[in-house]
Amino acid sequence: MADLLIWLVAALGAVGGVVLARVWGRVEGKRAGKREAERDAMDDTVEKVERGRDAVRDGRGAGDPADRSAGRAPLEPRLIRLTAATMGAGDAGCTSYAEARLARPPAETVVNVPPDWADWIADLDDRMTGTCR
């Protein structure tokens, strides 16, 4: 009877060891997978930042973005043609919709916006496009 009890304890120990090893391996695998996913996400983020910096660096001083597009006609004539109906008498000499908008009085440009916001928008437009006055 003692031999049977010894064999039973040994068998339960072996089965328990196998189950414990599988559970432990699964936990370690999840932990390693999470670390790998975090590392991959960080690498992707770094690559995106580098690509963005390269794009900004290459884009500076390269001229008008519409002129840089390969195989396409410049965008400016299309903008003038499309926005001709929206340009008022004070817009003469402006070559783009943004410049035409800047040439208008603030009341025509920004409607129902608090004055501080209108000033901020006008300042942002000046920084982005310059004025045509």
Strand (E) or helix (H) holding 95: none
pLDDT tens digit sequence for 54-107: 877 776 555 555 555 555 444 444 444 444 444 444 444 555 666 665 665 554
What is the pTM assigned to this prediction?
A: 0.33
